[in-house]
Chains A and B, each alone.
Chain A
Amino acid sequence: MDTASDEVDQEADRSRRRFIKGAVTLVGAAGVATLFSGKILEALEVPTSDVRARSGQDRRWVMLIDLDKCDGCGACTVGCTEAHFVPFGQQWIRVYEVQDEFGHRYFLPRPCMQCENAPCLKVCPVGATYQKDDGIVLVDHTRCIGCRYCMAACPYDARSFNWTEPPHTAEELAHAYSPEAPWPHRAGVVEKCMFCAHLSEHGELPACVKSCSKEMGNGAIYFGDLREDVVSNGVETIPFSKTVRDRGGFRLKEELGTAPRVWYLPPSKG
């Protein structure tokens, strides 16, 4: 009985040695492969560091929306939709009609908040959503897998999905796609307002700002650089932080800690 179990032990020992040898070889091979993984990724053309985030400019873009001036005309939505060929059914800047607890009604335009601590960015499994160093949150439609987790995560309903192939125009298709100017549009990916990243980097105001001032003469939307501390609606340029302080400016859902880059000035007129 004893010798039999000894033999079993010895055989078990030999088999264990064989296994450990095999395992060590395998782990070693995996280690070597990891060492060269940079090269392998390069060969597969996967960027190993995020070059997309560099804007080449030292900016912190912000938006200031004066609810006192907004009459809910929707020119911002129309201007945005036309400028970016936004697919039917989507509103990258949407105007909500809100009623406060005293029955007073006012309008609330909602672009993407470009949150500093963006919940959509945190949850993206493939890094299709990323933040440029100027603070703008962009979506790379060539990488998005359409899982829509970012839509579930966004507290401001700022994101839309292309549920089917959007209808195209020749003008839209002629444009070269980039995350800063994300068209032609395509099916199966998530889209949103990108603060007109393609315009701001050339010193131009976003499409919604221009529409609001030009078409209706309201000038309710201001845009600018937090570092310069001034914002402009295309007609006038006003100090930013002082205006926010003096007029009781606020951000939407401040308590969530998302730190939006869009401030609002409260409506005061009745």
Chain B
Amino acid sequence: MVDEEPPVDPRLLAPLQKTTWRFYALVGVLLAVIGWGVYAYTWQLRSGLSVTGLTDRVSWGLYISNLVFFIGISYGGTLISGILRLTHAEWRRPITRLAETTTVMSLLVAAVFPMLDLGRPDRALNLLLYRRIESPIVWDFLGIFTYLAGALLYLYLPLIPDLAIVRRWVKAGRMRGLLYRLLGGRWTGSRLQKRSLERSIGIIAVLIIPVAISVHTVLSWIFAMTLRSGWHTAILGPYFVAGAIFSGTAVVIITMAIVRRVYHLEAYITLRHFRNLGALLLVLDLVVIYFTLSEYLTAAYGAESQDLLWLKALVTGRYAPLFWLMLVGGFVFPAVLLVLRRTVAGIVLASVLVSVAMWLERFLIVVPTMMAPQMGSTWNLYTPSWVEWSITAAGVAAFALLCAVFTKLFPIVSIWETREAATPSEELHGVEEEMSA
């Protein structure tokens, strides 16, 4: 059966066959950054969290900001690919795999950060032994691992037919051959298998959306369930979710640009993909600006004394430069860019600005709230230490490394899905059948 199929576009398999010195150089650099982060963490394990800039009053900092940021960018895959699949947007086909990859990899990185923040990582198992379901941390723990399981399934299922193609056309060593056999060995491409696969993908695409939304909502609830100004607000759940899709889309666009450039996939990832996702990014940008306005204006106009303290830190105080940089440089300017410069370069630049701004946004949610004095009148200061910065850099490097290695093991553009797009009549037929049934 495989023989009857048209030969595979060599451009899609090339990354699995040939590896340039540049790739090894990149892996080397990323491993060096990760290694430095691991060294910093051993430092922290030896001396305790005193090596961070955290204090009794600002007791959460970069690690928790990174957790929120990485969970946020995981939305790109799930929501873009899930929603586009459900709405039968045909143009999605070359970018779904890539989007789902960023989801899984960012989740893997995100899941590490709360562990790094624990004072007693040796007792992490207590979360299972003594879990109290009343605590939002436990909701989060359950949510993240459910989401990770779902995201892995959602990445894996559409990969199965491609594994058969890879086994047929790519000469792989023993380890890789074993990997492909273990993951997709029983795929024959029979009608029954195809039907089961498509149904399964359909089900997981529906399920993953509420799971993703609930994960970022319960993450926001860790903050919202406390009694602190800036956290204790009902808008935090939707604000987190909107920011997550926003940053996730930006990261997918950046990844698209890199993959397209490095692997010469201009025929698959086209200007149209950038424009479509750019339009989505613009809409999400406006949504996030709207939520930001709602959040800060409500607090400022009501002018409760504790709210004002927290706002002061942001608008005129210590974090004012970052706050205005985020708002003007990361939210408003990209919106202008997305309207006026609808080229690949313009859209990618907007995405880079948005990614940085969304990291700042996470930081500015976590830290200034804890800086505002609750008792007495002394402001609590926080300056992240080299250990925290090193581990943060290692997190970003780990995300890049995981994505890069994935493109070397599996086709980053789904082969069978892009091939199917060539015969749209079949799909149309299927839709008609469903409607008449």
Contacts and interface: CB of A to CB of B under 8 A. Distances in A.
A226 B227 CA distance: 27
Interface in B133-158: 134-138, 141
A187 B374 contact: no
A36 interface: no
A163 B390 CA distance: 19
Interface residues of B, number: 45
Contacts of A256: 227
Given A4-B191, A126-B131, A145-B126, A152 B226 contact: yes
A247 to B, nearest CB: 23
B89 interface: no
A145 B119 contact: yes
B111 to A, nearest CB: 15
Given A4-B191, A125-B137, A151-B59, A162 B130 contact: no
Interface in A87-135: 89-90, 96-98, 110, 119, 122-128
Interface string A141-153: 0011111110111
Contacts of A15: 192, 196
Contacts of B318: none
Interface string B85-115: 0000000000000000000000000000010
Contact of B50 (A155, A157, A164): A164
Given A125-B131, A145-B123, A155-B227, A163 B376 contact: no
A4 to B, nearest CB: 7
Contact of B119 (A46, A148, A258): A148
Contacts of A144: 119-120, 123
A157 B52 CA distance: 20
A12 B127 CA distance: 41
B228 interface: yes
Interface string A1-45: 000110010011001000000000000000000000000000010
Nearest to A91: B56
B134 A122 contact: yes
Contact of B130 (A12, A98, A127, A163): A127
Contact of A12 (B131, B196, B370): B196
Contacts of A143: 123, 126, 130
A145 B49 contact: no
B60 interface: yes
A189 B120 contact: yes
B376 A96 contact: yes
A125 B141 contact: yes
Nearest to B228: A152
B226 A123 contact: yes
Interface string B191-208: 110011000000000000
A108 B136 CA distance: 32
Contacts of B191: 4-5, 8
Interface in B36-82: 47-50, 52, 54-57, 59-60
Contact of A152 (B55, B130, B370): B370
B124 interface: yes
B48 A163 contact: yes
Given A126-B130, A147-B137, A152-B370, A11 B50 contact: no
A152 B374 contact: no
B126 A149 contact: no
A252 to B, nearest CB: 8
Contacts of A127: 130, 132
Contact of B48 (A90, A119, A164): A164
A151 B117 CA distance: 14
Nearest to B126: A126
Interface in A153-179: 153, 155-157, 159-165
A187 B48 contact: yes
Q: How large is the interface on A (under 10, 10 to 19, 20 to 34, 35 or more residues)?
A: 35 or more
Nearest to A157: B375
A249 interface: no
A193 B386 CA distance: 33
Interface string B367-408: 000100011100000000000000000000000000000000
B123 A124 contact: no
A25 to B, nearest CB: 21
A97 B377 CA distance: 9
B336 interface: no
A72 interface: no
Contacts of A89: 56
Residue from B50, B117, B119, B374 having most chain A Cβ neighbours under 10 A? B119
Nearest to B380: A157
B129 A44 contact: yes
B279 interface: no
B170 interface: no
Contacts of A90: 56
A187 B134 contact: no
Interface in A227-269: 256, 258
A188 interface: yes
A182 to B, nearest CB: 15
B132 A8 contact: no
Contacts of A46: 129-130
A110 B141 CA distance: 34
A148 to B, nearest CB: 4
Interface in B3-56: 47-50, 52, 54-56
A256 B117 CA distance: 28
B234 interface: no
Contacts of B222: 149
Given A8-B192, A148-B60, A156 B118 contact: no
18 contacts: A96-B376, A119-B227, A125-B131, A125-B135, A125-B138, A144-B120, A147-B117, A147-B119, A148-B59, A148-B117, A149-B222, A152-B223, A153-B227, A163-B55, A164-B48, A188-B48, A256-B227, A258-B227
List the 7 closest pairs (A to B, CB-CB), nearest first: A146-B119, A188-B119, A163-B50, A164-B50, A164-B48, A125-B137, A125-B135
Given A148-B119, A163-B52, 13 more contacts: A5-B191, A123-B225, A126-B129, A143-B123, A144-B123, A145-B127, A148-B60, A155-B228, A156-B374, A157-B57, A159-B56, A163-B48, A164-B50
